[in-house]
Structure 1
Amino acid sequence: MKTRMSLKTDWTTFAVSGGFLFLFVIFALVDINRVEGWVTNSFNWSVTFFGAYWQLLLLGNFVIGMILAFSRYGNVKLGKMEKPENGNFRWISMILCTLLASGGVFWAASEPIYHFVTTPPLFASDGMTPQEAIIPALSQSFVHWGFLAWASLGTLTTIVLMYAHYHKGYPLKPRAILYPIFGEKIFKKSIVGSTADIVSIIAVAAGTMGPIGFLGLQIGYGLHFLFDIPNTLTTNMIIVGALILIAAISVASGVDKGIQFLSRLNVIFVVLLTAILLIIGPTMFLIDSFIGAQAFQLQHFFQMNLYRADQAWLGYWTIFFWGWFLGYAPMLAIFISKISRGRTIRELIVAVSIIAPLVSNFWFAVVGGTGLSHELTNPGSISGPLSDGGMPATVMAIMNQLPMGFWLAIGFLIVSIVFVSTTVDSISYTVAVTIQGTDHPQKWMRVFWVILFGMLSVVLLTIGEGSIQALQNFIVVTAVPVSILLLPPLWSAPKIAKQMAREQGIVSSVEAAKEKKIA
């Protein structure tokens, strides 16, 4: 599709964002302690001054999206295409592999146990028995990986991006989020526009490099646990190299081939592992826990999402997650825009804000709930390894309690690799889209970012685990400017929906004028 602007590579954005990432890694090599100190101070500042804003931003994004989806404006078709390019299973598979890939295995196994061992402060004074503490523990995990988290990635922002790109013909870049405010000039030589693109790339790059390095450490532990392979830097580097090779092949094949194939493969793996765990594990306990925790979350929905009392706990949990997901949001909204042509606003919002969270929550209930069940009957069997060895030890401890545990553990390691590969290929694709302004960026640009993420992650691994932790906290810092970029869609997306509803004959101009007068 031709756009109004010439689709030239934005070398300024390329150089500034790439250069910034290189400088971060170089500074970490020179003095990791100073970098950690700077990042920690910036992280604490971000949590203190932006935490409440992020909570309200995510809640507003979800609520406005729901209202829009179930109004008549939900019938508006996006992307100037009559029929969707991707079937429902393929489409939802690719959506699921965006956020779920970040927490798919290790957080799903570990976070419910964390909240079970130390009850979240909102419910800490309730004096619950261990049996009663199961539901709040699972429910807190549902909040962090549920409705608001998913809605922030690709609902209102996606509507604005798809309108600017597919309906108005402007480049598909994060700066397009500001099109309803600034108009066409945001795509010209605009400092605001360039800043929007650059901070979005840096935020998503930090959010991608962290999981790559983190995965190297996690898989290294798993291979040592299962096969006694030395858990060394060399092992971790080989793992990251294999992951980058998979992602590079996938992204070179394009969205319609490689990325789609990996996403479908991963969802099939997840479904298979879920079915096996349900059959050989505590079946009714898992089903009852999912239903109970989901009901508990809905019952305490506003309390849990807007909790503000314990700042230290919020910074370690809710606000950390919100910052991480907000940093991903512009780029994943670009990716979801690309795969959602021909979908209605209702289909988009229901898929991203309802179906994906429910699937994600069920996965957390099955994986984390299996661990909770064994911890309940045999205290210390899961929490002990978690305390001693961290998140990778939790997955292995849970599998160790089950029949066929060895083979299940291998399955979880494979799923972990494919999960993060799908994240890396989709993020590299969207960064290339941002640099070149088209949803068909050149192959070399797509592959370049995969390799860059891999190389920088390997360098960080050579420094040590502290560098990965510093990068994880840095993700939250980079979310500050991105979160400001994501505020305008709260009012611009409904306006765009109304305008497109008139264009598509869903609402007559007379009705629209009446609504505007009443408003």
Structure 2
Amino acid sequence: MTQHNATHSAAPTRREHRLGDPVVLVLSVGFILLFIALSLYDVDWVAEGIGAGFAWTAATLGSYFQLLLLLTFFIGIGVALTPAASARIGNLATPEISTFKWLSIIMCTLLAGGGVFFAAGEPVYHFVVTPPAFDSEAGTVDAVAGALAQSFMHWGFLAWAVLGSLTAVVLAHAHYDKGRPLQPRTLLTPILGERIIQGPVGGVIDALCVIAVVAGTVGPIGFLATQVSFGLHELFGVSEGYGTQLAILVALAVVYVTSAVTGIHRGIQILSRFNVFLALAIAAVIFVFGPTLFLTNAFTQGFGTYLTSFFSMATMTAETAPAWWMQWWTVFFFAWFIGYGPLMAIFVARISRGRSIRQMILAVAVMAPIATTIWFTLLGGSGIHYQLTGVIDLTEALNNFQFDVATLTVAQALPGGTLMAVAILVLTTIFVATTGDSMSYAIAVVGSGHDRPSSLIRAFWGIAMAIMAGILLYMGAGQISVLQQFIVITAIPVSLVLLPSLWTGPQAAYAMAREQGLLARRSVETPDA
């Protein structure tokens, strides 16, 4: 296999800023300080302003976000089926990380707290409030398949593909083969040229992507504190006040900052493996001792409905569905995943060295989504079963979007009761921790431009996100929701960073394959991707 002189293993030079690109640092930290300062000045004004921007973005650009995810998935699968997909990332003949560890990191990083947080409640919500793509009567047996299918649409193939398929190919080729920095700006090099790599424009592009991830990560961190606090109160009578939430935040920050500082091959990997084993144990208990036949039938019917109704759900707009529903469900989730896209792609490219392009795309865009649908069926399907049989009633809680109540209620109804509820709280906590550590690491990579950022910057970002969550919780959990709405707005510039990968992704794959001698070289080379 042909080797190349790439800069991926180079240590930071003396000229590199200790905390990375100063433009990225100033803009992203400035955003955090500005958001907090404005919230302290007038919470309602901030909430109203972001709410208006959120509503406008969802109504105006929702269809664009949906098309971006659809094209990313199908073009990505198309690339995976070509001979070029045999090319290996990072010019390594064998993978750096074993298959189980690699898949564990992918699952824990990308599914993370959001998936666990919504896995119990979202399917039950769609069961008690029929999604617009279906006409079944809410709360009946006929509504089960549609409820699961709608959840699969939000957390399935499209969501995962935009997080690390085409963009990861572009970044892997640019970084490991061309020596370009492992930063979001690199995705735009084929469009804007090399000049953006060192210029302030590149810093602004990177900062926008960092801000989107900070907004998207602080949300799960803050909501986890409220969820665990609620769970401890309900299960053990612990006080549910701000003090408890703060203690939970501190403990969580200690875990994920330690993990981020020790790096991919130690902390992040160990945490991910532990969580996968815990998730598998919980899944086995639910399947064996829970409503096994119901879950089996629900998954079969739900996945079948997901495939047969795929395009009608994926292309539904505010013209054919209630505007509020599109805004708070499909568009919100799709914009959230777009916001994570560039930094997740950096992370996926980093952990996939030695893997083929085909392995990487299929793991991220096919295997992981299928595993996610199974997980949603086990938790959410059980919730639907208990709702259907009258064991629980989550109608009021879910109509008020109280998903922390839903998760704990379903958990307590599962086999093992309190013990299962505690296990799921632990699982959720570590899932959020794996998001915190991987995103702290990815932001540090963006600042430095290489895959060995200093432990100082990793710790800085981990602590900064925990502090931001703590301050916003002090103002009220509503500000966490406001920050999550903000990620829909940040998805606008971030989507423009992802857009070129629709054509530069296939170009990069073929370039890698030719450079590794897997395809005959053409007389006219494809432009650098």
Report the TM-score, using the length of structure 1 for normalisation.
Answer: 0.95
SS in 1 for 2:512: helix
Larger deviation, residues 126-135 vs 78-87 = 126-135
- 1:315 lines up with 2:312 in the alignment: no
What is residue 242 of structure 1 aligned with on the other side? Answer: 251
For residue 110 of structure 1, the aligned residue among 114, 121, 136 is 121
Q: Which residue of 1 aligns with 2:273?
A: 264
Distance of 2:75 and 2:485 partners within structure 1: 29
Match among 277, 283, 293 for residue 284 of structure 1: 293
For residue 144 of structure 2, the aligned residue among 128, 131, 134 is: 134
Residues 50, 486 of structure 2: 8 Å contact kept = yes
Q: Supply the distance in 2 between the matched residues of 1:233 and 1:407 (Cα, whole angstroms).
A: 25
C-alpha distance in 1, partners of 2:258/2:45?
Answer: 37
CA distance in 1: counterparts of 2:224 and 2:244, whole angstroms: 12
How far apart are 1:383 and its partner, in Å? 3.0
Tell me the distance in 2 between the aligned counterparts of 1:56 and 1:436.
Answer: 32
Q: Is the 8 A contact 1:110 1:368 kept in 2?
A: yes
The superposition leaves residues 31-76 of structure 1 with CA deviations (integer Å, 9 ceiling, x where unpaired) of 1100000000110111122111000000000000001101111111
User: Hey, what's the Cα distance between the residues in 1 that align with 2:381 and 2:173?
Assistant: 41
Task: Report the 3-state secondary structure (helix = DSSP H, G, I; strand = E; otherwise coil) of the residue aligned with 2:142.
Answer: helix
2:310 maps to 1:298: no
Question: For residues 180 and 82 of structure 2, what CA distance do their matches in structure 1 show?
Answer: 28
**DSSP 3-state at the match of 1:102:** helix
1:341 aligned onto 2:373: no
CA–CA separation in structure 2 for the residues paired with 1:408 and 1:381: 19
Output the amino acid matched with 1:331.
Answer: L
Distance 1:172 1:106 in 2: 30
- Equivalent position of 2:10 in the other structure: 2
Q: What SS does structure 2 have at the residue aligned with 1:404?
A: coil
Alignment-derived partner of residue 52 in structure 2: 41
Q: Which has the higher helix share?
A: 1
Q: Any conservation in 1 of the 2:127–2:139 contact (CA below 8 Å)?
A: no
Deviations 1:384-442 (Å, cap 9, x if unpaired)? 55457811211222233234201000001101110100000100101111111110000
Which whole-Å CA distance do the structure 1 matches of 2:138 and 2:472 have between them?
42
Cα distance in structure 1, aligned partners of 2:53 and 2:115: 28
Of residues 34, 48, 51 in structure 1, which corresponds to 2:62? 51
- SS at the partner of 1:131? coil
Q: Secondary structure at the match of 1:104?
A: helix
| Structure 1 position 327 matched with structure 2 position 339 | yes
Q: Write out per-residue CA displacement over residues 87-145 of structure 1, whole angstroms, 9 at most, x where no aligned residue.
A: 11100111111221132322000000110001001113x55771010000001000000
Match of 1:508 in 2: 520
| Equivalent residues in 2 for 1:447-458, closer than 5 Å | 447-458=459-470
Match of 1:77 among 71, 88, 94: 88
- In the TM superposition, what is the alpha-carbon distance from 1:380 to its structure 2 partner? 5.1
Which residue is 2:160 aligned to? Answer: 150
2:27 and 2:204 in contact (8 A); partners too: no
Aligned-pair identity in percent equals 42
What are the residue-to-residue correspondences of 1:64-103 with 2, within 5 Å?
A: 64-103=75-114
What residue is the counterpart of 1:440 in the other structure? 452
1:197 equivalenced with 2:206 (yes/no): yes
- Structure 2: 5+ residue stretches without partners: 1-8
More divergent stretch after superposition (376-385 vs 276-285): 376-385
Contact 1:73 1:501 in 2 (8 A): yes
The one-letter code of the counterpart of 2:181 is: P
Q: CA deviation at 1:190?
A: 4.2
- 1:15 aligned partner: 26
1:27 to 13, 16, 38: 38
Give the alignment partner of residue 383 of structure 2, picking from 371, 380, 392. Answer: 371
Q: Does 1:62 align with 2:73?
A: yes
- Tell me which amino acid in the other structure corresponds to 2:274: L
Report the CA distance between 1:368 and its aligned residue. 0.3
Contact 2:130–2:138 (Cα < 8 Å) also in 1: no
Could you say what secondary structure the match of 2:36 adopts?
A: helix
1:168 aligns with 2:178: yes
Partner of 1:210: 219
Aligned mates of 1:170, 1:505 — CA distance in 2: 22
Aligned 8 A contact 2:11 2:452 in 1: no
How well do the aligned residues superpose, as a CA RMSD in angstroms?
1.8
Offset from partner CA, 1:429-460 (integer Å, 9 cap, x none): 01111111110000111000000001111000
Q: Distance in 2 between matches of 1:470 and 1:324?
A: 13
Distance 2:288 2:258 in 1: 35
Deviations 1:137-182 (A, max 9, x none): 0010000000000000000000111111111111111101112223
SS state at 1:79 partner: helix
Q: What is the aligned length?
A: 512
User: For residue 115 of structure 2, what is the amino acid of its counterpart?
Assistant: G
The AA in structure 1 aligned to 2:55 is N
Structure 1 residues 83, 378: CA separation in 2 closer, same or farther (over 3 Å shift)? Answer: same
The answer (yes or no) to whether the contact 1:164–1:179 under 8 Å persists in 2 is: no
Deviation at 1:233, TM superposition (A): 0.6
